Amino acid sequence: MIRAEFYEKKGLLTGFRFSGHSGYADAGEDVACAAVSSAVQLTANILEELGHSPDISVGDNVIECICGNGGDVPSRVLNVLRKHFEAILEEFPNTIKIIISEV
């Protein structure tokens, strides 16, 4: 299962940390993992393009993205990502665990 942890500060989303594998199919053939990976890359690129210069670190099956002190725009972008994950979860049950953590 993918662990999708969103960071929240004072009611605004400020970043995320995603890890794991959905388990929907074998690695390389898993459409749920592909959907999550693509959405995460798109979100990081959007934040960068909007001038929010996220701090991104990538490891084996883990990515973390921090948007400094956050703000309304990054929070809204990250909230869209969260909603997208909820839609993926409806289509592919038991593949993502969404967590909101206060930081």
Three-state SS for the chain is CEEEEEEEECCEEEEEEEECCCCCCCCCCCHHHHHHHHHHHHHHHHHHHCCCCCEEEEECCEEEEECCCCCHHHHHHHHHHHHHHHHHHHHCCCCEEEEEEEC
Write the pLDDT tens digit of every residue in 22-78.
999 998 899 999 999 999 999 999 999 999 999 999 999 999 999 976 799 999 999
The pLDDT of residue 21: 94
Six-digit token pair at 1? 């299962």
Predicted TM-score (pTM) of the model is 0.93
**What CATH number corresponds to the domain at position 54?**
3.30.70.1490
pLDDT number for residue 27: 85
Domains held by the chain: number: 1
- What pLDDT, on the 0 to 100 scale, is given for residue 91? 96
Name the residue range of residue 40's domain: 2-102
